[in-house]
Structure 1
Amino acid sequence: MSGDDSRARLRIAVQKSGRLAEASQDLLARCGLSFRRSRDKLFCYGEALAIDLLLVRDDDIPGLIAQGVCDLGIAGRNVVNEFVLDRGDGQTAIAELRALDFGRCRLAIAVPRGSTYTGPKSLEGLRIATTYTATLGDWLRRNGVRAQIVSLSGSVEIAPRLGSADAVCDLVSSGATLAANQLREVDTVLESEAVLVAATECTGERVELRELLLRRIDGVLDVRESKLVLLHAPRAALAAIERLLPGAPAPSVTAVEGKADEVSLQALCRGSVTWQHLEDMKRAGATRLFVLPVEKMLA
């Protein structure tokens, strides 16, 4: 399979297994995409739209996009950043389009417990084990630190205990793995989450498909934590109630037929709407309060 500018179908690469796999496919399903899997379960043919899915190793996703094999991909920012820096030619042929708000973690520096750390300069002359050699190298250069990078493909956190490194640079989520290996986190190299990346060049019918999918993804992300709040209120209390609405910049207000002094308010609240919010609005004069989930939205 190779890059082909003449093909009409859009291809998306996602992780076949691992921490981003399920959430990535769930996002696409919420965008209305459905797929039929091939026998090898690595290529999935799009049924709802001319959009196909490729299930691959996360480290392969940026390369497949850069080569033109796929048009879009969902990967960790840590993987994308490492690919871009590793190429080092300034022409990566891929770009980050959206942060997707799942798979959050950080690429962090950790040192053995009891070690002194006052800043990046504390790493001068030390051996640092990592899988992300290009990202770590870039961070060290930007901080003016000369250190030896020890490249490992896995089990990075055990390197200091084995005597092969003095510190590590590894992905951290909860920090439990570091603690289990008597390490403490001291600095952040990169904040990461799942991101949507794309080829910088996309032609023909695939351009329209990509824009359509982006609109749907934006809609899914917008409503993920959104709630629709409906209420009635006296006109005199409207300003006070609007100030209590969480994350609702432009509520819609209409008159209530037959009640000159009463209005109906509808607001899309981006974020949590708690019992405290409702009780505060009720005390301000609101009645008939409803909080409804939002399934889909297209701006």
Structure 2
Amino acid sequence: MLRIAVQSKGRLYEDTMALLAEADIKITPSKRTLLVQADNFPLEVLYLRDDDIPQSVASGVADIGVVGENEFIEKQEDADIISRLGFSKCRLSLAIPKHIDYQGLQWFDGKKVATSYPNILRKFMNDNHIHANIHVITGSVEISPGIGLADAIFDIVSSGSTLVHNNLREVEVVLKSEALLIGNKQMSQENKGILDEVLFRFEAVRSAQDKKYVMMNAPRARVQDIINVLPGIKSPTIIPLADPNWCSIHTVLDEKRFWEIIGKLKELEAQGILVTPIEKMIL
């Protein structure tokens, strides 16, 4: 049985549970149970605080865990990074009161900085030869300058709305973070086999993200021109139609270039363009 440590609440919890569901690993949520077994897969979920996950994986309490890169780097636990999951993205930044005329990192010399990430901040300051007074605080870091507890803060930033609400502005991005899948270095061979299947499913889900399956009818005389503008994974599928002068073309498009390419297809006389989302994609 493979055990995965997951944050017990918050955005990382929601994104992780959504990924497991899309990988067809069915977990019945329970507010009272910290350890829940999947209904249809040899995996159990251990719900923990986010800052406890690196240690639980490093010590073998859990085989794998989903944790923010910021927490993993801060805790400095001895575990492997198995995969970058691409969700729950944020950044660790330095922020100061918005009225201050900021001229550069030297401003922080001798200043008191409140943070829940002292190890990351200390390394950054040392690397840049800045002598700041690091004040460790848990929770509500952003209010520190407003109540006179610190001159600045070092904290997680997503949209930046919390900073604005507290009359702060972001001045330096120190670390960009996303969800990581980490693993115990001494994982059993049996659980490594289960993990391989989990990774296979995760990759199938991630490969389908931001992709669209596109079908269209086109004059046979324009097929090669249409193929030339399609950046599909491989050669598109060409299907003959009842009318010998027409055929159906099927391909996969990246959503980022979708409208650009659709416009070109219309210029090349493609008709009846049908677009559907992709749930999974096996490469």
- The TM-score with structure 2 as length reference comes to 0.91
Query: Equivalent residue for 2:11?
Result: 19
**C-alpha separation between the residues in 1 aligned to 2:187 and 2:246?**
53
Query: Equivalent residue for 1:241?
Result: 226
Query: Equivalent residue for 1:270?
Result: 254
Query: Equivalent residue for 2:55?
Result: 63
Query: Equivalent residue for 1:43?
Result: 35
Query: Equivalent residue for 1:290?
Result: 274
Q: Pick closer, same or farther for the CA change 1:264–1:45 going to 2, 3 Å.
A: same
Query: Equivalent residue for 2:121?
Result: 136
Give the Å deviation of 1:178. 1.0
Q: Pick closer, same or farther for the CA change 1:39–1:266 going to 2, 3 Å.
A: closer
Give the Å deviation of 1:168. 0.6
How is 1:57-206 mapped onto 2 (pairs within 5 angstroms)? Answer: 57-84=49-76, 92-206=77-191
**C-alpha separation between the residues in 2 aligned to 1:240 and 1:24?**
42
Give the Å deviation of 1:202. 1.9
CA RMSD, aligned part only? 2.2
Give the Å deviation of 1:21. 1.3
**C-alpha separation between the residues in 2 aligned to 1:37 and 1:175?**
31
Give the Å deviation of 1:228. 0.7
Q: Equivalent residue of 1:35, what SS? A: coil
Structure 1 unpaired stretches of 5+ = 1-8, 85-91
- Alignment check: 8 A CA contact 1:128 1:148 kept: yes
- Alignment check: 8 A CA contact 2:217 2:270 kept: yes
Give the Å deviation of 1:259. 6.0
1:188-217 Cα deviation digits (max 9, x unpaired): 011112222222332221011000000100
Q: Pick closer, same or farther for the CA change 1:27–1:159 going to 2, 3 Å.
A: same
1:17-56 Cα deviation digits (max 9, x unpaired): 1121122111111111123567831110122111111111
Give the Å deviation of 1:297. 2.2
1:220 partnered with 2:212: no
**C-alpha separation between the residues in 1 aligned to 2:113 and 2:274?**
55
Q: Which deviates further from its counterpart, 96-105 or 186-195?
A: 96-105
Structure 2 unpaired stretches of 5+ = none
Letter in 1 for 2:13: A
**C-alpha separation between the residues in 2 aligned to 1:94 and 1:239?**
50
- Alignment check: 8 A CA contact 1:133 1:149 kept: yes
Query: Equivalent residue for 1:3?
Result: none
- Alignment check: 8 A CA contact 2:112 2:132 kept: yes
Letter in 2 for 1:99: R
- Alignment check: 8 A CA contact 1:38 1:45 kept: no
Letter in 2 for 1:107: L
Letter in 1 for 2:235: P
Q: Pick closer, same or farther for the CA change 1:38–1:167 going to 2, 3 Å.
A: closer
Give the Å deviation of 1:290. 1.4
Q: Pick closer, same or farther for the CA change 1:230–1:117 going to 2, 3 Å.
A: same
Identity fraction in percent: 34
Query: Equivalent residue for 1:254?
Result: 238
Query: Equivalent residue for 1:210?
Result: 195
